[in-house]
């Protein structure tokens, strides 16, 4: 079964509190999501493998480490996942970026796919799927299915906030996927919103209603 990792770094938790606050406006919300995404990129890359290289400093020769292993790819789920891309690219600037477009049908709450565009070498990359919200889990599960269908072999999911219902659905649909979050909240409400959550992530990022 996939594991769930909660990033408890104080800076992440502090900024998430202001992201949740309904009085935080669009500009500040965007800036905070960007900053938290950068901090989460730092945490999620903690286990990246290193290899030893030899370099010349101005003083002498030394053995030192650089990152090795598979190259990374980021796959935001449109729209709201876009808000986390730039923050992650600040720390992983060479990552390629694919896009999966999904929206949740407001009646059924089931995801509807409308766009998929991916780097041609996704099978060789370690992919991080990003979306601020894991609510029913339908969108993330569908995005991961879409990626696997196109050859992705190595995937992780990173969200700001997950509901227990979404974690369960993800684990049922994709037991091989590890999840990285800033918080696991209490539950979903009758409209499929995460409680306490942060409201509608796409609307708050882009100023729509
Ligand atoms: C939101 C969010 C997730 C999805 C989560 O997107 O960004 O993609 O809902 O809900 P789920 O786990 O129940 O599927 P939304 O459908 O509102 O689309 P948007 O990002 O275009 O606003
Ligand atoms: N999508 C959101 O943007 N927020 C939620 O709470 C649930 C789904």
pLDDT at 168: 98
98 lines ligand 1 (CB under 6 A): no
Task: Please give the pLDDT value at position 182.
Answer: 98
Residue 113 Cα to ligand 2 midpoint, Å, equals 17
136 lines ligand 1 (CB under 6 A): yes
Q: What's the pLDDT score for residue 70? A: 78
Confidence at residue 69, expressed as pLDDT on a 0 to 100 scale: 79
> Residue whose CA is closest, atom 5 of ligand 2?
193
Can you give the pLDDT at residue 169? 97
Query: For residue 203, which atom of ligand 2 is closest to its CA?
Result: 3
Specify whether 86 is catalytic: no
Query: 181: Cβ–Cβ under 8 A, 6 or more apart, which residues?
Result: 4, 5, 6, 7, 134, 158, 159, 160, 161, 162
Return per-residue pLDDT of the chain as tens, 209 residues: 999 999 999 999 999 999 999 999 999 999 999 999 999 999 999 999 999 999 999 999 999 999 997 799 999 999 999 999 999 999 999 999 999 999 988 889 899 999 999 999 999 999 999 999 999 999 999 999 999 999 999 999 999 999 999 999 999 999 999 999 999 999 999 999 999 999 999 999 999 98
For the CA of 108, the nearest ligand: 1
Buried/exposed code over 143-152 (b: 16+ C-beta within 10 A; e: otherwise): bbebbeeeeb
- CA 63 and chain centroid, separation: 34
Question: Closest Cα partner for 52 from 36, 37, 63, 39?
Answer: 63
Predicted confidence at residue 109, as pLDDT, reads 87
Q: Are strands 71-78 and 99-104 parallel, antiparallel or unpaired?
A: parallel
100 Cα: distance to centroid of ligand 1 (angstroms):
12
């Amino acid at each position: 079964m996939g594991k769930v990792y909660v990033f408890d770094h104080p800076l992440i938790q502090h900024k998430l509190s202001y992201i949740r606050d309904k009085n935080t406006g669009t500009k500040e919300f965007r800036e905070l999501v960007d900053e938290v995404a950068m901090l989460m990129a730092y945490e999620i890359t903690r286990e990246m493998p290193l290899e030893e290289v030899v370099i010349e400093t101005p003083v002498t020769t030394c053995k030192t480490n650089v990152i090795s292993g598979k190259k990374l790819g980021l796959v935001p789920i449109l729209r709201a996942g876009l808000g986390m891309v730039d923050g992650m690219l600040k720390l992983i600037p060479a990552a390629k970026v694919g896009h999966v477009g999904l929206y949740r049908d407001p009646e059924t709450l089931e995801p509807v796919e409308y766009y998929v565009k991916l780097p041609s070498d996704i099978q060789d990359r370690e992919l991080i799927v990003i979306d601020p919200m894991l609510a029913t889990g339908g969108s993330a599960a569908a995005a991961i299915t879409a990626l696997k269908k196109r050859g992705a072999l190595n995937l992780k999911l990173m969200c700001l906030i997950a509901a227990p219902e979404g974690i369960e659905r993800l684990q049922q649909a994709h037991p091989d996927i590890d999840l990285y979050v800033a918080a696991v909240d209490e539950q979903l409400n009758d409209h499929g919103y995460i409680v306490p959550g942060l409201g509608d992530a796409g609307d708050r990022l882009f100023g729509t209603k």
